[in-house]
Homo-oligomer: A and B are copies of this chain.
Amino acid sequence: MTLSEEDYIKAIYHLGKGENTTVSTNAVAEQMDTKPSSVTDMVKKLSEKGLANYKPYKGVSLTEYGQKTALSIVRKHRLWEVFLVEKLDFSWDEVHEVAEQLEHIKSEKLVDRLDRHLGFPQVDPHGDPIPSKSGTFKKAIKKLLKEVPVGANGICVGVKDSSPPFLKFLDKNKIALGDSILVLEKEEFDGSLRIRIKGNEVHISDQIASNLYLKITE
């Protein structure tokens, strides 16, 4: 499997949002920053190799085998992202480019050992789940902190209100994108929350909880 083939498999996988959806040639071309004619050539090849289902003019989807391949690449990508953040102190927003390269390294032993070295992490620094060796994983969804049930934990991935005062508030309370948050308790009366973040327990008002997105895996 060439590097380029792997990139196409991944693109088709991501465009199909993990479901086995048929995606258009144009969509793949845009995602890959290449031309539709190049995509046609490549999906023909993937199809011949049994990785994709392709009908001219009808788009492309992954076969079972293609799906497995995609999951293996995603697994590697996300494990390397964890490595970069946890072991090499990269920040969560600078790991993607490097992981994009590392995901192509071919060594099953390396991946297994890396997984173990990292303590078998369930999610990457962006809150996205890491497929198991056999390719299973829980889907992640993005929710307002307010909607996250007590006991669940997730990773802070975005804000609804991006006004300076709100961002400043987050900064002051040391809440940053990429932080892992565990919901400890919900106060029925005013909708405020008690959460654990970076080892500290913090109180969060309903208003804040309504403007912070977490990614959680169910």
Closest to A94 in B: B109
Cβ–Cβ contact A88 & B117, under 8 A:
yes
Cβ–Cβ contact A113 & B98, under 8 A:
no
Cβ–Cβ contact A98 & B90, under 8 A:
no
8 Å CB contact of A109 from B90, B101, B110, B114: B90
Docked complex Cα distance between A97 and B107 (Å): 9
Docked complex Cα distance between A97 and B108 (Å): 12
Stoichiometry, as copies per complex, reads: 2
Tell me the interface secondary structure of chain A in the complex: helix
A105 to chain B minimum Cβ distance, whole angstroms, is 5
Interface residues on A, range: 10 to 19
Docked complex Cα distance between A78 and B87 (Å): 18
Contacts of A117 in B (CB 8 A): 87-88
Docked complex Cα distance between A110 and B80 (Å): 12
Interface members, chain A 127-185 (any B CB < 8 Å): none
Docked complex Cα distance between A116 and B102 (Å): 19
Answer whether residue A106 sits at the interface, using C-beta atoms and an 8 A cutoff.
yes
Contacts of A102 in B (CB 8 A): 102, 105
A207 to chain B minimum Cβ distance, whole angstroms, is 38
Cβ–Cβ contact B101 & A113, under 8 A:
no
Query: 0/1 per residue, A81-99, Cβ < 8 Å to B?
Result: 0001001111000100110
Docked complex Cα distance between A99 and B105 (Å): 10
Cβ–Cβ contact B113 & A105, under 8 A:
no
Closest to A87 in B: B117
8 Å CB contact of A106 from B94, B101, B116: B101
8 Å CB contact of A98 from B87, B89, B105, B116: B105
Cβ–Cβ contact B110 & A105, under 8 A:
no
Interface members, chain A 14-62 (any B CB < 8 Å): none
Sample of 23 A–B contacts (CB below 8 Å): A84-B110, A87-B87, A87-B117, A88-B110, A88-B113, A88-B114, A88-B116, A88-B117, A89-B113, A90-B109, A90-B113, A94-B109, A97-B107, A98-B105, A98-B107, A98-B109, A98-B110, A101-B105, A101-B106, A101-B107, A102-B102, A102-B105, A105-B105
